[in-house]
Chains A and B, each alone.
Chain A
Amino acid sequence: MPGKAVPVPTPETQPYWDGCAAGELRIQRCVDCGEPYFYPRPLCPSCGSGNVEWFTASGRATLYSYVINHRPAPGFEDDGPYAIAVVELAEGPRMMTSLVGVPATPTDLVLDMPLRVTFEPRGHVSLPVFRPAFAEEGDE
């Protein structure tokens, strides 16, 4: 039985995956217009500039939307119904992720709840996932 999908980095996305391996959520922003963006690519989608740079995001996010999937993808068969979420990073961009440390029920998953990034091993890479933020971490 095939396991969970393991992402295959490309030269343009390798710094993102290197960041994950180091426990950091590194994304890009435009040097010219200042807009942060996701997913990694060598061009600012806001202004078209190629003058872009990597930076380490705060790892803070809020829950933007999700589904609770009852028909598992390969490798997810033993997980029970699981959430496939889209989070909004504190810096603005959105990304898909998994939610950990919280039951996958509509009662527990409340839109706009504060989240923090954490990392899980997946094959040869480290995968960013999100958990509920602890009270003392705030959501400033």
Chain B
Amino acid sequence: MSHSSVIIAGAAETDEIGRLPNHSTLGLHIEAARNAVADAGLTMKDIDGIGCVAAPGPVQVAHALGIYPDWIDGTGIGGTSFLLHVRHAVAAIRAGYARTILITHGESGRSRVGVAPRRMDLSSPPGQFEAPYGTLGPTTTFTIPALRYMKEYGLTREQLAYVAVAQRQWASKNPRAMYRDLITVDDVLASRMVAYPFHLLECCLVTDGGGALVITSADRAADFPKPPVHVLGTGEASETPMISQMLDFTESQMFRQAGQRAFAEADITVGDVDHLMIYDAFAHVPIYGLEALGFVKKGEGGPFIADGNTSPGGSLPLNTNGGGLSYTHTGMYGMFAIQEGVRQIRGEAAAQLDRADISVILGNGGMFAACGVLVLGRRAR
């Protein structure tokens, strides 16, 4: 069965990211949508499919934009949701369910304007079996596997800290990054302890912002002002709603599962990848990602990053916008990782690589809970 090629024809973030107390969550969706549709040279009337996370959700966002869609995806599994929206949009376009799909993200993660209060359902499994022990969001749960990994594979505190150092090197080249001053391992280790063994600089930012994408079929590529970004392969997987039930604390099965599927569909190997984005809510996550995707063997991710291989000038440019640790992280970061992959392939990134024909995006949702992987390319397969 031959599949028609699907492209990202429009991609944009909100005008600003960072601290935006004058935007609600819905307002950020609207601004991101308008920018992405304009980037594709289209109008809202051209959009016939919508994907976004609740709240506010696809019905609210579509209505606010004046869109009455034929196709709706409200998949909401945390920060990787947008990668799944792209995957599902590819399938919908191939199936003929929609022609031009808009995927939006807006989140007032820092200023919390127009956001429902956080509330844990204490009868849910996480409410009964984790919350009573004093968990409070990702810093207290996403971080728990790291000590086990450090014991099993000898990852040092300095190597973990270097993940933040390497990403700040990229952020220093990006005027839109929230933090741009270069830092050292000593700076990271001297920053405030948040949840041992994680210091403040090993934890992601908390910001406001948004982004959106326009997905359509490649046979229309000549209709758009920007060069097409081909969606060559996609994968998705889920693993656990509770960090305590992660299958193996030293590896992410779902990263490997979704990655293998995406690489197989794109018919690529790790050697074909020019540019890599791995969701970095915390400094250990890129290490787990590098190993799960097969770029390095198990246990080698920390030394690989600490040796500078993912830094500017290294063999495997990783998180070239500065990542969630230095660029921005609204709470659900995946949209921003996709945006950087698109910019690199188009040749319009702040820290533009000489060669970016293939970009791989690995998204995480929840605390090692769910995963999406995209393989993006300059050319159709």
Nearest residue in B to A105 (C-beta to C-beta)?
Answer: B196
- Chain B residues closer than 8 Å to A31, beta-carbon distance: none
A111 to B197, CA, bound (A): 13
Within 8 A of B (CB), among A34-89: 38-39, 64-76, 79, 81-82, 84-86
The reply to whether A68 and B132 contact each other, CB–CB distance below 8 Å, is no
Q: Does B198 contact A (CB under 8 A)?
A: yes
Nearest residue in A to B241 (C-beta to C-beta)?
Answer: A39
- Chain A residues closer than 8 Å to B131, beta-carbon distance: 5, 7, 73
Within 8 A of B (CB), among A77-135: 79, 81-82, 84-86, 94-98, 106, 111, 122, 127
Q: Does B174 contact A (CB under 8 A)?
A: no
Nearest-Cβ distance from residue B323 to partner chain A, whole angstroms: 21
Interface residues contributed by chain A, number (CB under 8 Å): 38
A8, A84, A86, A94: the one contacting B134 at CB < 8 Å is A84
A98 with B193, Cβ < 8 A, contacts A73-B140, A86-B243, A86-B244 known: no
- Chain A residues closer than 8 Å to B147, beta-carbon distance: 65-67, 111
Nearest-Cβ distance from residue A97 to partner chain B, whole angstroms: 6
Nearest residue in B to A87 (C-beta to C-beta)?
Answer: B244
A70, A97, A111: the one contacting B195 at CB < 8 Å is A70
Q: Does B350 contact A (CB under 8 A)?
A: no
9-residue interface stretch from B58-66, B119-127, B230-238, B333-341:
B119-127
- Chain B residues closer than 8 Å to A79, beta-carbon distance: 134
The reply to whether A73 and B243 contact each other, CB–CB distance below 8 Å, is no
A27 to B130, CA, bound (A): 16
Interface residue tally on B, bucketed by range: 35 or more
In the complex, per-residue mask of B134-153: 1 if CB is within 8 Å of any chain A CB, else 0: 11100111011111100100
A74 to B118, CA, bound (A): 13
In the complex, per-residue mask of B42-65: 1 if CB is within 8 Å of any chain A CB, else 0: 000000000000000000000000
Among B127, B130, B134, B196, find the residue whose CB has the most chain A CB atoms closer than 10 A: B134
B129, B144, B148: the one contacting A84 at CB < 8 Å is B144
A67 with B242, Cβ < 8 A, contacts A5-B122, A5-B131, A84-B144 known: no
A5 to B124, CA, bound (A): 12
A72 with B244, Cβ < 8 A, contacts A10-B123, A13-B128, A64-B148 known: no
A9, A72, A97: the one contacting B133 at CB < 8 Å is A97
Nearest-Cβ distance from residue A66 to partner chain B, whole angstroms: 6
- Chain A residues closer than 8 Å to B245, beta-carbon distance: 38-39, 94
The reply to whether A67 and B143 contact each other, CB–CB distance below 8 Å, is yes
- Chain B residues closer than 8 Å to A86, beta-carbon distance: 144, 243-244, 249
Among A4, A9, A70, A122, find the residue whose CB has the most chain B CB atoms closer than 10 A: A70
Among B135, B144, B244, find the residue whose CB has the most chain A CB atoms closer than 10 A: B244
The reply to whether B195 and A68 contact each other, CB–CB distance below 8 Å, is yes
A8, A65, A96: the one contacting B242 at CB < 8 Å is A96
Q: Does B190 contact A (CB under 8 A)?
A: no
- Chain A residues closer than 8 Å to B270, beta-carbon distance: none
- Chain B residues closer than 8 Å to A39, beta-carbon distance: 125, 128-129, 242, 245
Nearest-Cβ distance from residue B254 to partner chain A, whole angstroms: 16
A8 to B242, CA, bound (A): 17
Q: Does B264 contact A (CB under 8 A)?
A: no
A67 with B120, Cβ < 8 A, contacts A39-B242, A97-B133 known: no
Nearest residue in A to B142 (C-beta to C-beta)?
Answer: A67
A residues in contact (CB < 8 Å) with B:
4-10, 13, 38-39, 64-76, 79, 81-82, 84-86, 94-98, 106, 111, 122, 127
Closest 9 CB pairs of A and B: A68-B196, A65-B148, A8-B123, A73-B136, A96-B244, A7-B128, A67-B195, A5-B131, A73-B134
